[in-house]
A and B are shown apart, each in its own frame.
Chain A
Amino acid sequence: MKRKKETPVELAPEISVTVNGAVVTRRVPARRHLIDFLREELGLTGSHTGCEHGVCGACTVRVDGRIVRGCLMLAVQADGRRVDTIEGLSDSGELGELQEAFHRRNALQCGFCTPGMLLAAQDLIVSRPDASREQIREHLSGNYCRCTGYQAIVDAVEDVLASQRKKT
């Protein structure tokens, strides 16, 4: 009789992840965060490692189309999933209008928070095209910025929402 194969317990499992459209296969230590995997193994240093306990939002990336904290997900949990980072979303042009608005409104200074901020803002633009200023603030509450005081960031997001409403 064939014995049912047990799922292996591993210290360094092999994973296969679609990162910005390309499949990458690697063996990673189980404890490695998704954000460290992206930055250190794949050289995608656009997303930042900030607080490493889910408070600052600098490590925000997309997994299967939804924003997540890259420091609160293990690389092994992304196995078989699609991961999109600031690099891929910049290259595809999806964030173009938002990036232009950030530039125009001076919505960044040091830039550390910006990749995470852009991903969180784009998530709102797609999911709530009618968002008010208050709702923009609420949605971005999980992303710290220590330079701008947020005013200019909210202005930039508001600009994009307004221009998209005009288009439809």
Chain B
Amino acid sequence: MKAPPFAYVRARSLAEVFGLLERHGEGARLLAGGQSLLASLNMRLDAPALLIDITRIAALSGIAVRGRKVRIGALTTHAEIQRSAEIAKHLPLLSQAAPHIAHAAIRNVGTFGGSLALADPAAEWPACCIALDAQFVLRSTSGTRRVAAREFFHGLYATALRPNEVLTQVEIAVTGLNCRSTFVELARRRGDYATVGLAALARRNARGVLSDLRLAFLGVGAAPALARAAMAALEGKRASADTIAAAGEALTRDLEPSADLYTTATTKLHLARVLTGRALTALAA
């Protein structure tokens, strides 16, 4: 289908965006990559009066590493993250997750910030940001505030963003050389919405003992979920059949999967356990 009619404006600065948001209120949507927004307009799931195109505001793009912190501009595309040597070096989890996001033609346009601000429960970046304990920079006319990724996602397409705020940048501490990461996902077709996915990080010492574990799931509920009980069950242990089974058992306390069109809640929990086993095997290897 075709999108319903709307007006369009190409903003030249953040100040202009704030002014437009204030004037047009709930009838306005920010257009970043548009890879979810335009699909939802085409399907007439949404009918805004105005699209504010922010894609030509150069200050919102780019990846910068300063000291131990990586700053990723909201308009950085999935493909730019996938290709970035800086990201591969400092935040390999993001390089591992990027190929799972939709398809090449969509990764060329869709943006990091757009995906986070939309908060689709099957999206890869929100789970990665929770695993990495990222900080989101939110700006409005009243100033700048930082919200931890772990506090940002409230539910289905619901976030800490206020109506007049724009997510401009994400700050993530580099994960360092002795940190291992992996991203695993199950989908009906490569690039389709994830049935279940898992972003995992851990340190591993010479004896194979895992510590500082982070397991963040996507596709299992209304928001990405940090599996704290499973993380605790594995802390200070080696990955073995027994510890993987214990982590899988603990997932019952962490996750309350909801069924989707194709997969029951029980199957999702089972698949979350399967992915946990795969991820731990990869982290321990």
Listed in ascending order, the chain A residues whose CB lies under 8 Å from chain B are: 6-11, 13, 29-31, 33, 36, 52-54, 57, 60, 66-69, 71-74, 76-77, 79, 120, 123-124, 137-139, 141-143
Is the Cβ of A72 less than 8 Å from the Cβ of B2? no
> How many angstroms from the CA of A67 to the CA of B12 in the assembled complex?
25
Is the Cβ of B9 less than 8 Å from the Cβ of A10? yes
Is the Cβ of B2 less than 8 Å from the Cβ of A31? yes
Is the Cβ of B105 less than 8 Å from the Cβ of A7? no
Interface contact tally, CB-CB below 8 A: 105
Contact of B104 among A11, A36, A142 (CB under 8 A): A142
Is the Cβ of B5 less than 8 Å from the Cβ of A73? no
Residues of B74-118 whose CB lies within 8 A of A: 79, 99, 102-106, 108-109
With A52-B2, A138-B99 known as contacts, the answer to whether A69 contacts B9 (CB < 8 A) is no
With A8-B9, A36-B2 known as contacts, the answer to whether A120 contacts B104 (CB < 8 A) is yes
Contact of A141 among B3, B20, B190 (CB under 8 A): B190
Residue of B nearest to A144 (CB): B189
Is the Cβ of B102 less than 8 Å from the Cβ of A13? no
> Can you give 23 contacting A-B residue pairs, CB < 8 Å?
A7-B10, A9-B9, A9-B50, A11-B7, A11-B8, A13-B8, A29-B5, A30-B6, A31-B2, A31-B5, A31-B6, A33-B2, A33-B38, A52-B2, A57-B103, A68-B109, A69-B106, A71-B42, A72-B35, A72-B39, A73-B34, A141-B189, A142-B103
Contact code string B4-47 (vs A, CB < 8 Å = 1, else 0):
11111111100010001000000000010011001101110000
Could you say which residues of chain A place their CB within 8 Å of the CB of B9? 7-10
B interface residues, tally (CB under 8 Å) = 38
> How many angstroms from the CA of A77 to the CA of B108 in the assembled complex?
14
> How many angstroms from the CA of A134 to the CA of B5 in the assembled complex?
42
Q: Does B235 contact A (CB under 8 A)?
A: no
Contact of B4 among A31, A52, A77, A123 (CB under 8 A): A31
Is the Cβ of B106 less than 8 Å from the Cβ of A142? yes
Q: Does B191 contact A (CB under 8 A)?
A: yes
Is the Cβ of B43 less than 8 Å from the Cβ of A53? yes
Contact of B38 among A57, A74, A124, A137 (CB under 8 A): A74
Residue of B nearest to A31 (CB): B3
- Closest approach, in angstroms, between the C-beta of B244 and any C-beta of chain A? 27
Is the Cβ of B2 less than 8 Å from the Cβ of A74? no
Residue of B nearest to A124 (CB): B104
Could you say which residues of chain A place their CB within 8 Å of the CB of B103? 57, 141-143
Is the Cβ of B7 less than 8 Å from the Cβ of A9? yes
> How many angstroms from the CA of A86 to the CA of B173 in the assembled complex?
43
Could you say which residues of chain A place their CB within 8 Å of the CB of B191? 141-142
Could you say which residues of chain A place their CB within 8 Å of the CB of B2? 31, 33, 36, 52
Is the Cβ of A73 less than 8 Å from the Cβ of B38? yes
Is the Cβ of A72 less than 8 Å from the Cβ of B8? no
With A72-B39, A138-B190 known as contacts, the answer to whether A30 contacts B105 (CB < 8 A) is no
Is the Cβ of B16 less than 8 Å from the Cβ of A7? yes
Is the Cβ of A142 less than 8 Å from the Cβ of B102? yes
Could you say which residues of chain B place their CB within 8 Å of the CB of A71? 38, 42
Q: Does B241 contact A (CB under 8 A)?
A: no
Residue of A nearest to B56 (CB): A80
- Closest approach, in angstroms, between the C-beta of B77 and any C-beta of chain A? 9
Contact of B108 among A68, A76, A138 (CB under 8 A): A68
Could you say which residues of chain A place their CB within 8 Å of the CB of B1? 52
Could you say which residues of chain A place their CB within 8 Å of the CB of B11? 7
Could you say which residues of chain B place their CB within 8 Å of the CB of A33? 2-3, 38, 42
Contact of B42 among A6, A13, A52 (CB under 8 A): A52
Residues of B238-262 whose CB lies within 8 A of A: none
Residue of B nearest to A49 (CB): B2
- Closest approach, in angstroms, between the C-beta of A89 and any C-beta of chain B? 15
